[in-house]
Structures are given as structure tokens and as C-alpha cells.
Amino acid sequence: MIPARFDYRRAGSTDEAVGLLTEHGDDAKLLAGGHSLLPLMKLRLAAPAVLIDIGRLSDLSYIREEGDAVVVGALTRHRDIEVSDVLGRHVPLLAHVAGQIGDPQVRHRGTIGGSLAHGDPASDLPAACLALGASITAVGPTGSRTIAADDFFTGFLETALRPDEVLTEVTLPKATGAGWSFQKFNRRAQDWAIVGVAAVRNGTAGVALVNMGSTPLRARAVEEALASGAGDAEAADHAADGLEPPEDLNASAEYRRHLARVLVRRALQEARPST
Amino acid sequence: MTTVEASAGGGPVLGTRLRRREDGALLTGESRFVADLAVPGALHLALVRSPHALARIVDVDVSGALAMPGVVAAFSGADLRDEWAGPLPCGWPVTAEMKQPAHLPLAVERACYVGDAVAVVVATSEYAAHDAADAVTVTYEPLPAVVDLEQALTDEVVVHPELGTNVAYTWELAPDDAAVDAAFASAAHVVDARYVQQRLIPAAMEPRGVLVVPEPFGGSFTVYSATQIPHILRVMLALTAGVPETDLRVVAPAVGGGFGSKLNVYAEEVLALALARRLRRPVRWIEERTENAQATIQGRGQIQHVELAADAEGKVTAVRVRLTADMGAYLQLVTPGIPLLGAFLYSGVYDVPAYSFRCTSVFTTATPTDAYRGAGRPEATYAIERAMDTLARRVGVAPEEIRRRNFIGPDAFPYTSVAGLVYDSGNYAGALDRCLALAGYDALRAEQQRRRAAGGTRQLGIGISSYFEMCGLAPSRVLASLNYTAGGWEAASVRILPTGKVEVVTGTSPHGQGHETSWAMIVADRLGISPDDVDVIHSDTARAPYGLDTYGSRSLAVGGTAVAMATDRVVDKARRLAAHQLEVAEEDLELAGGVFAVRGSPDRTMALAAVAFEAFTAHDLPDGMEPNLEASCHFDPPNFTFPFGTHLAVVELDTDTGKVSLVAYHAVDDCGVQVNPMIVEGQVHGGVVQGAAQALWEEAAYDTEGNLLSATLMDYLVPSAAEVPSITTASTVTPSPTNVLGVKGVGEAGTIGAAPAVINAVVDALSPFGIEDIAMPASPQRVWRAIEDARRRGTHPTSTAATDDTTTQATSTKET
Amino acid sequence: MRRIEVDVNGSRHVRHVDERRLLSDFLRHDLGLRGTKVGCEHGVCGACTVLLDGAAVRSCLLLAVQVDGCRVDTVEGLAGPEGLHPLQEALHRHHGLQCGYCTAGILMTAVEMAGEAGPHSVEEIKQRLSGHICRCTGYAGIVAALSEVVGS
């Protein structure tokens, strides 16, 4: 498996990356960790003419507190999120989810920005960001803007990012002391989730699903049921309402709907505030 | 029959956990696998493969590839048609009437599975070759595919029209159908089961690869291949490519696992040789992982219809098997013979008086099947061990009890089975008892009851499998009776060099099994010297010219025995020479610690090294004795060996999701005398995980168009350490009387025992739902679906009186 | 082609490489360090694992140009004149390899673990090995070996 030829450009700064994106348009792809893109390129399912390597923008790798939020630079690797004290204290769901992605080698290379920008409905971090009510900062030729995670995932492997924008930062509201759970259902530890559920209970409940549609998505029906006073089990029964999950070797749509209900129930119970 | 504990080892070397001499180079990265061999100027091949399961090849245009940078040549199948002296070989035409399709290294008229090679590009680098392969334009006329075995039987789509049918052959082993029918007519209990052996991808970690280096002068070639069978490959390359055998040297360098997948003669090996001949350049091909999934043979692929008849007590009175076997698109080296390797084993370790087996083997538009770890025996063992569990339920006794009632007794050996085999030795009840004790069986059953009573979502299942198998292929005369076109002997030479160092030449071809270590132990033990003084030469037809290679758990029982017997012959010669020089009778000499000593006169000695030097100088040999201490043995075994054991799997079932986790595994194996128990355990561990993987994870899944859906290791689920429990092993030792070492094979035993043990455990966990069977792999979705269906039928975990009774009865039976 | 400078096992290498050259091919064919193996080419089997600035990564999913200026450690750097690395010794002692094809990758993950604060539980070791596939050993000897060196 050998990727097709491409032109390789290394960006020295976010602005340079934006400039290169502007210059090359749809022919270009950003390369961060590369662990979503390179396998596709090796199978020749993707053949970008230009790869813009942003892997060295070390100023985009950080985790810091900013008031009521924790901000995470786009190039922060899964492993750094997994072991972050700040996240462990204030957004433990995110740290935990990062530690469940793929396997250790993947976590050493994969970045939160790459994971979100790829927008794969089967990946774990997007669901966590949805459940946590994160917002995403992107920088383009005209400056930066912030996009709510809820508005970010627009279609299968499609996001609200414009072709000339670079995702730079993820802002996560602190959920210190909140109940949380991540239920990842797969057959081997290193595999993608067949279905996953991220849940946060912090007064209100945020519940998001992995691999239950064409995008990472929130379990709105569950959240609404809880808001209107339903019990956990009753709310969980709505986990797949209105969803059209994918079908593959591991699961039919029907089985995914069932798993979503079971896993949401488990997640809500685990995330129940300890009081 | 004596059964002793494994700890009672032989001499000071044999039976010890000597660490492997193979490890050093592998641990430091110094070992050289085919892909690691750097030959200046080597050209790289890339294959163009059919994306269609069945298609007429209308046109192959290589001009686009030829225009690419670095490309030296590109050929279609038609371009190379005249290169072949013969088709890709099938060495096991099981019947005279067997239908065999034409099979050339590159397809010419039709592509018959996704991955069938239709063109080849030769370039100066791997990268250039792959780019250029994309530039070959092939025009296909796609035809309907047929992947489903039972659909293939209808001949609605015929894979090879020139054969007129998809049925390759029918074969039967039915000594007395009338007796079988009578047994079923009078049976108190009948089991009628259908089991599907899904296709598996062997997935050796090292993909295949071949490098052919033409000698600069003359017409000879050195072929380096990631193969289990350098000797057989040499013969077959000569026949297929038309190169004189004397011009071929085949070397298997470090080989990264095979499991049967490298027991073959592949298109790429022959292509590389033909292109090296045509271009007069070294030629190299390294398989990609998706090619490994699509174009290396797959294993299993059978539908088994198995019936047991039993009397009121559960004593089996007849076994009837109707098998449909998937050949895939072509017959590879031993494809047709795989079902036959199982045909003799469906009566298992049980004293069965009547038996009937019929097999229909069919072509499909999928990757050819062939030998995969166990090859026919795991399938047969699965069928009988699953059916015995069902019979236990019918009779209302525990699974261990139904087995005890049917075991062949320890005093019955040699035992002639209803299928005509003569089992060499065994103590099946002994292995079962040992395994139940090892597992803490009563406590496990108690925990299972506790969980069932508590009614939670995490339920336990416990499954046992009492397996045996026939291995150590094989008496050549038996192979002849099965139409196998090779023998089953193995060769060895042993020479004691003038300095006292020993060289052993073996015809086996290890790829992870540790033959260098074990063979050195065998020789050292017999000579009374250190294994460090024994060098083992293998896997190179120039240095080890005779051999039949490594497969079918044959290496130790046949090849190791040949080494032992050659050693004994060298000792005989050395003894004659020593007796001559010490002027004593041969009978008065005893060999210990590498020194001949005169009985009763311990100061009169002659070391083996001194004898070897005398044999080398040849100054003073007995009359008629030839110089040098060397002997050979070509050992043709008088029988197979029949290792056996009992495995016990414990699974935890999540009744909400259907997920099954393998939480404990206990294996008691008896492979006769153990040369190196550490290596035996390693074979069991690895084999068990492969068998469990068939039960829970692995499946080569095709869609109806014949596309392989699991063509990467992302989709083909080989388990990692995180999915596998610790495996407890123990052994009993029942020596085989068929060889001087008393050894049996162990390379496939774990795989053979494991799949039925795990599925029996899964079904045990599901039994409160009234579920009697689950197909492999027991994926979460499949298990959930079975539970859902059972719930719809109205069988709930709460209404399990029958099952509970069974368990109670089991406990009381065990106590008697 | 692009010029890269890489420290491999403590030696500095300057090479011009094709942009699409995989790190695994660069190590194996350009530097001749063939101890690193390629198994699945797809980020699953872990045979190609090396250390990149101390972290275990898959060299088949990295471009050589991505490691410009970095330090890479491969299996060839483990044993010294004084003998095998303790982890190599442990795999040898516990029969943690058969065909040996996956061994280099597993060693690099193990080396990374050995550099961390321990001890690691058996469960943790198994999880850390989840990015490696061994088809021969059933993992028993591998887990035993790692437990001995980095375990409790």
C-alpha cells in the first residue's frame, strides 16, 4: 500500500497554513497526525495533490484553563489529553475518552483537531465534545470564528469548516464534579466503536452518540426526555429515536439502535450525580 | 498404557525448557525475512488483480504502464502464456473423476475471484511498480458471481463452464451405510445439526514474498520465498515453469508464520521465476496485506450436516456426516484433500460402531481455500464436540458425563476406529479429569448457578471439548490410498565433524516452531553432549536437499524422529570404530556424556570427538568401514500420531448486548513425550487463540457479488492481547508407540480443541434462553439476535427448569 | 524530493527522500534498518512500531518527511555490546516470540512502558499491547515477559 504522489508543504504558522489552503483550495489536505488521512491515501481512496503539514505548529498544542472553560489546542495529541491533570480535574470525560481511542500508538499521533475536522461519525472525541457543549475555533483568511460543536458536524465526513480554514482550538466548559460516562462498544480494544455514548450530567444532561448516523450527533430525544422528568431507563428508550444508523459487518441498523438504548441507559446510570 | 505427568522428563536435555537459539537474531532485528533481503538491481513486481468475482477478460492494455517512469516491462496473461510448462499445481486429486479447472499464474480468459491476477508490472522500485499497476487498463465483461455454497451446488452460475458443473468431486467413507441406517432407526436420541465453518484468513504476520536471483552465468536460479515448503516448491517450480530442477535452489529464509497459508505453490512464485528468466534480472515481489486477504489461500469454508444416533443412556451408536466443502475458484496445492483430513475424525474420541461420511466439494467465485491450521481436523472436531453437547442436553446429562459414557477406554489402544484409523495411544478420560480439576470445575458451575439465580446481565458459560487429531503426515502408503501425490517421509542427516561439533541436516522447514532448538536437543540427548555443540541446517534445498517440509504437525513426529534415527546410526558407526580402536567388543561400550567407556574399565574411554577425528583421518578404521561419521535417515512413519486433550473455556455473556468475553481458558494436552515443554506450551497458547478467534472474532466475509468485505486487519478481527485471557495449560504424557521418541504433534492441537470449547461455552451461557446453537463467529450481533429470537419465542431465562435439572444431575453424576 | 535530517538510534542521518516515502520504507530500505517490520500497512498490527521522540508510533502511517528533525529509535538500538536489552532477555526467557515478525514492534512499545513510572498491572500491559497483533504466541509469553520487567 503506497500513497499516490503529492506535493508536500510544511506550514510554519497557522497563517501560513491558511495561506496554503487558500492557494491550493480543494486540491489540498491538512496533515496533522495523519492517522485518518494516510490510511485512505495508502488505499488510494484519497489522493490529495497537496499535503499541508501542520504537525509542527507546536503553538497549537496546549491545554489550559481560561475562566469557566478549558481550552485545548487543535494539535494536542490524544495521549496528552488522556494524561492531562487540568482535564482530569475539570473535564474528566474528555480525558477518559481520549484514552479509549484506538490504541496507544494511535493516541500518540492523533490530534483533537484532526479528529474533529475529519468529522467521522465513528470517532470518539466528537461525541465527547458534543456532550460537553464544546465550541470550536477556526482561523481563516478573514480571521477567526467560533462554531458550537452542535453546529459543526454537517454531513458524512463534512464539517462547518470552510476549505480555507484551519481548526485551531477547542473550548470545553468546565464540568468539575459533574457525573459523566463513556460507553464504548466494540469487539477489540483497538477498534472503532460499533456504538458509543458520551454522557455528562451537570444539572442538565448532555448525551451524544458515536456511529449512530452520518455525523457525530446528540441524543436529543434522550436529553429532552430527561429534561421533562423522565427516569433514566425511560429516557434511554429514546436513544435511537429518529436516527438512521449505518449498517456494516458488525451491526445492522436495528442492532445499533438496540445498542444505543442499552448503552445510553448504562451511561445515564453511571453518570448519575453521586448525591 | 502408562500415563505419567509431564514433569517426569527424559535425560538431562530432553524435556527441559531450554530457551530457543532462534531468538537472538529475531529479538535484535538481525533475522532476514524475504522482504529484508537486499539484492542490488532487483526489479519489483506489482500485480493487477480482478475487481470482479467472475468476469471475462476482454482486453488488457499495458501501454499506459509501460509509459510510466521506472517501468521495465508489463505483461498480460496472454503475453506470458508460453512461459508455463504446466498449470499451477494441485497435488491432491482425490478422485480420478475430480474436475480441475485450468489455473495459470496470470488469468488469460476469465478472472474467477476478486484478486485473481490478470497482469503484472515490472519496475525498478516498489513505488514505481504500484503506480504503474494502476495504469494498466483491463476491460472486463462482468458475470454473475456465486459465493454461497448451497447456491453453487445448483449450478445456476457455473464458475468454470468448461467443467460443466461446480461440483469438483464427491467422496465418501461409508463402510456400512446399512448399519448406520439401522442405528438411527433404533436410536433413543438423535442429534441432527448443521454447522457452518466460516472462511478464515490465515493472516500470518509476515505477508508472502518471493525473490528470484538468476546466477550471473549459466541458467540457474536461487528462489527465496516466504514458504513452509522449499522442497516441494522446488519440484513444483520445475514442473510449472519448465526450469530443470537442478537449476533451482529454493531457500526459505526467516519466515514469519504460515499456519498452512505458506504450504502452497503460488502464482507469484512462478511468475517471479519466469520473469527473472525472461529479463535476466533479480525479481522481487512482496505481498500487500489486502493481497494476503484476497490472493493467499483461505481456510475452512464448509457446511456440515452432522447426525448422531444414541441409545437411551446416550451411548453413540452411529455418526452420519454430509459435508459440503468450498474449494473457492481454483484448486491450489492440497485444496481438495482438506475435507478428507477431517473425514476420519468425526467419530472423535468416542467408541462409535457405525459411521458414514460423504463430501461434495464445490467451486465458488471466491479465493481458493486450502490448509489452514488444523486443516479439516478442526472442522471435524467442532462438529462432533458440538453435537456431543447437544446430545448431552437430549439425554439430560452433563457434557462431561456424555463424554465419559462414550470415551474409548485407556486399555483399548491401539484402537481401530470405525473410519479405519488405528489410534496409537490415548487416555481421554484422564485428560478430561485433569482439565476439570485444573479449571476448578465445580466452583465454576456453582458460580454459574449463583449468577443465574441472581438474574443479572453478566452470565457465565462453561464449555468443554475433548479433542483428538491425526497428525504427523504420514505413512506414504496411506497417502497413496488417498491419491495424495507425494509421500509422507522425512529426511535427516547427522554428521560429527572432526572437532566433535555436530551438524544436523533436516528436511523440515520451521517458521516459528523452534526446530533448531528442539532438533539440537534430540541429538544432544542421544549423544550425551551439549545442544550448543549441535548445529541445525534447514530450509535450503542446496544444503538440505531432501525433505517434505513443515505442515500438518508432522515436523517432530516425522522429521524429529528421522533426526533421532540418523543420530542412532551415527552412534552405531562410532561405536564400531571406538570398539576397534579400544580393542573391545561393541557390546562392551557404553556412551555417556559424549564418551564411550568400556564397561567395567571406566578409565578406558574414547570421546566421540576423538572417534570423529579418527573417522576423519581414516588412518585406522575397521576393515570395510568408510571414512567420516555421517548417517542419514529417510523415515516413513508407520502410522499417524494421535495427540489429544480436553479444553475448557469460560465465557461471560452480556445478555443486554450479546457481547461474549472469553474470561478463562484451561487446556490439558497430551502430545506424548515432550522435547521442550516451553515450546509445547507456546504452540498450545497460540493455537488456542487461533481457535478461539474462529469462535468469536474472525470471518472472511463476502457480499453476494463476491467482494471480500474483511480485506484488511481493521475488518478481519485477529484478537490482540487485550481480548485474550490468560490460558492455563497442563499436560499428560501418553507416549506414541509409532516412533522412537514417543512424540506426537502439537502445532495444531490448540486450534483444534479451542473453537468447540468456546462455542460450547457460549451455548452453555445461552442455554437458559432455550438456545441450542450459535453460528461462528459468535459476534455480539449474532448472539443478541439469538437472544431476541428466543425471547420472542417466549423462552425466558426464568423458565429454565430443564437446564437447571441438567446441571444438578451433572453435579451428582460427577460425585459418583 | 525533500531533505530531511533524522537522529536514528543516536546517529544523525541526512537524506533526500521522496515526499510520499513512508517512514517504514525509509528506515528499512534507505537506512538498512530492516529489523522494523511491515505487517498490515494499515495501522492495526503494530509490527512497524518505533519510538518517535520517545513515543511508540507506527512507522507505516508516517511519512519520512514528518520526522525531519526528530529522534527515532528502532529495535536495532536496543542491544548493546554488553548484550541484550532486559526486555529482549525477558521475551527470550518467557518464550515471548515464535516467528519473531511482530517482536520488534512489541519491543518498542515495551521500551516505552519501561521508561514510565510503574509498575504496570497485567491488565494495563494487555491494554498497552492492544495495538499489536501476534499470530503465534497467544500473547502468554509476551505478557509474562513484560510483567516481569515493567509489572508489579
Q: Which three cell numbers stand for residue B236?
A: 513444483
Q: Does the pLDDT at position B800 exceed 90?
A: no
| B725 has a pLDDT exceeding 70 | yes
Q: How confident is the model at residue B804 (pLDDT cuts 50, 70, 90)?
A: very low
pLDDT > 60? residue B211: yes
Cβ of B717 within 8 Å of Cβ of A251? The answer is no
Cα(B320)–Cα(B192) distance, rounded to whole angstroms? 9
B18: which DSSP letter? P
A251 in B contact zone (CB under 8 Å): yes
All residues of chain A having their beta carbon less than 8 Å from the beta carbon of residue B723 are 187-189
Look at strands B415-416 and B355-363 and give their pairing.
Answer: unpaired
What is the spatial distance between Cα C7 and Cα C21, in angstroms, rounded to a whole number?
Answer: 17
Q: Do A190 and C19 touch (CB under 8 A)?
A: no
Q: In A, which residues are within 8 Å of B780 by CB distance? A: 185, 187, 194, 250, 255
Per-residue model confidence (pLDDT) at position B465: 98
Instruction: Inform me whether the pLDDT recorded for B614 exceeds 60.
Output: yes
For residue B37, count other CB atoms closer than 10 A to its CB. 18
**Tell me: the pLDDT tens digits for B159-174?**
999 999 999 999 999 9
Q: How far out from the chain centre does Cα B90 lie?
A: 18
| CATH number of the domain to which C103 belongs | 1.10.150.120
Residue B86: partners with Cβ closer than 8 Å, 6 or more residues away: B239, B240, B242
**Grid-cell match 461525541, residue found:** A127
% of residues, chain B, pLDDT over 90: 94
For the residues C54-62, what does the mean pLDDT come to? Answer: 98
Question: Testing the interface with A: which of B657, B716, B776 to mutate, by most A Cβ within 10 A?
Answer: B657
CA B471-B476-B479 angle, 5° bins? 70
Separation of alpha carbons C86 and B656, rounded Å = 45
The C-alpha cell 485518518 sits at A36
C69: closest CA of chain B, how far (Å): 24
Please list every residue in chain B whose beta carbon sits closer than 8 Å to the beta carbon of residue C135: 203-205, 257, 259, 686, 690, 718
Whether residues C69 and C7 share a domain: the answer is yes
Cα distances from B471 to residues A252, B209, B227, B511, in angstroms, run 41, 28, 20, 18
Among the listed residues B516, B550, B557, the one whose alpha carbon sits nearest the alpha carbon of residue B227: B550
Asked if residue C101 and residue C65 are part of one domain, the reply reads no
CB atoms within 10 A of CB B691: 32
pLDDT band at B803 (very low <50, low <70, confident <90, very high): very low
Neighbouring C-beta atoms of residue B33, cutoff 10 Å? 24
One domain for residues C73 and C90: no
Residue B63: band (very low, low, confident or very high) from pLDDT cuts 50, 70, 90: very high
Q: What band does B128 get if pLDDT is binned at 50, 70 and 90?
A: very high
Residue C100 banded pLDDT, cuts 50, 70, 90: very high
The C-alpha atoms of residue B513 and residue B448 are separated, in whole angstroms, by 38
Q: Measure the CA–CA gap between B316 and B588, rounded to whole angstroms.
A: 56
Is A191 in CB contact (< 8 Å) with chain B?
A: yes
* Secondary structure of B34-69 as H, E, C letters: HHHCCCCCCEEEEEEECCCCCEEEEEEECHHHHCCC
pLDDT of residue A25: 87
Q: What is the CATH number of the domain that holds C41?
A: 3.10.20.30
C136 contacts B257? CB cut-off 8 A: yes
What gap in Å lies between CA A149 and CA A133, rounded to an integer?
7
Are C121 and C70 members of one domain? no
What's the pLDDT score for residue B4? Answer: 34
Contact list, A53 vs chain C (CB under 8 Å): 65-66
Q: What CA–CA distance (Å, rounded) separates A192 from A184?
A: 9
User: Considering the domain A179-270 in this protein, what is its CATH number?
Assistant: 3.30.390.50
Distance from CA of B787 to the nearest CA of A (A): 12
SS3 C13: strand
Report which residue type is found at B765. A
B6 has pLDDT over 50 = no
Across chain B, mean pLDDT equals 95
Query: pLDDT tens digit string along B231-242?
Result: 999 999 999 999
Residue among B632, B465, B669 at smallest CA distance from B553: B669
CA dist., res. B43 & res. B212, Å (int): 10
| Residue B811 predicted with pLDDT over 50 | no
Q: pLDDT tens digits, residue range B445-454?
A: 999 999 999 9
Q: What is the pLDDT of residue B218?
A: 81
Q: Of C51, C77, C103, which residue sits at a domain end?
A: C77
| Average pLDDT estimate for B729-747 | 96
Which C positions 72-101 lie with beta carbon below 8 A of chain B? 74-76, 78-79, 84, 88, 91-93, 95, 97-101
The pLDDT of residue B815 is: 29
The average pLDDT across B355-373 equals: 98
CA of A23 to nearest chain B CA: how many angstroms apart?
27
Q: Check whether B3 has a pLDDT greater than 70.
A: no
pLDDT confidence bin for B797, thresholds 50/70/90? low
The ipTM (two decimal places) reads 0.98
Residue B720 near residue A189 (C-beta atoms within 8 A): yes
**Residue range B41-58: mean pLDDT, rounded:** 98
**3-state helix/strand/coil string of B134-181:** CCCEEEEEECCCCCCHHHHHCCCCCCCHHHCCCEEEEEEECCCHHHHH
Question: Across the interface, do B205 and C129 touch by the CB < 8 Å criterion?
Answer: no
Average pLDDT, chain A: 96
* pLDDT, position B798: 47
Q: What pLDDT score was predicted for residue B812?
A: 32
- C-alpha torsion angle, residues A51, A52, A53, A56 (rounded to 10): 180
How close C119 gets to chain A, by Cα (Å)? 17
Indicate if C9 and C62 belong to the same structural domain. Answer: yes
C6 and C73 share one domain: yes
Question: In CATH terms, is domain A7-53 a member of 3.30.43.10?
Answer: yes
Nearest residue to A31 (alpha-carbon basis) of A138, A124, A114, A136: A114
Question: Residue B318: pLDDT above 70?
Answer: yes
Give the domain extent around C144.
86-150
Domain boundary (C12, C44, C77) is at C77
Angle formed by the axes of helices C103-114 and C140-150, nearest 10°: 20
pLDDT exceeds 90 at position B801: no
Full 3-state SS string of B229-247: CHHHHHHHHHHHHCCCHHH
Which residue shows C-alpha cell 511498480? B129
**CB-based burial of residue B186 (10 Å sphere; 0-12 exposed, 13-18 middle, 19+ buried)?**
exposed
The answer to whether A172 and A244 are in contact (CB under 8 A) is: no
Q: pLDDT-based confidence at C118, cuts 50/70/90?
A: confident
Q: Which amino acid is at B35?
A: A
- Rounded to an integer, what distance in angstroms lies between the CA atom of residue B786 and that of residue B802? 19
Looking at the predicted structure, is the pLDDT value of residue B510 above 80?
A: yes
Helices (H), B397-514: 399-406, 428-439, 441-454, 476-481
| Model confidence pLDDT, tens digit, residues B518-547 | 999 999 999 999 999 999 999 999 999 999
What is d(CA B192, CA B194) in angstroms, rounded to the nearest whole number?
7
pLDDT score for B178: 97
pLDDT bin (cut points 50, 70, 90) of residue A274 is low
One domain, residues C103 and C60:
no
C49 and C96: one domain? no
Given this model, what pLDDT does residue A236 score?
98
Hey, what CATH topology would domain A58-173 get? 3.30.465
Please count the structural domains in chain C: 2
The residue ranking higher by pLDDT, B164 or B815, is B164
Give me the sheet containing B727-733, strands edge to edge.
B4-5, B727-733, B660-670, B644-654, B458-468
Domain residues of chain A, as ranges? 7-53, 58-173, 179-270
Q: How far is A61 from chain C (nearest CA, A)?
A: 16
- C-beta atoms of B721 and C131 within 8 A: no
Which among A6, A34, A43 has the least Cβ separation from residue C66? A34
Domains of chain B with CATH codes: 1-31+407-415+422-470+641-816 (3.30.365.10), 489-635 (3.30.365.10)
Cell of B217: 552465468
Task: Output DSSP code: residue B530.
Answer: -
Report the predicted TM-score, pTM, of the whole model to 2 decimal places: 0.96
Alpha helices in B62-113 (DSSP H): 63-66
- pLDDT-based confidence at B733, cuts 50/70/90? very high
Q: Facing residues of B466 across strands?
A: B646
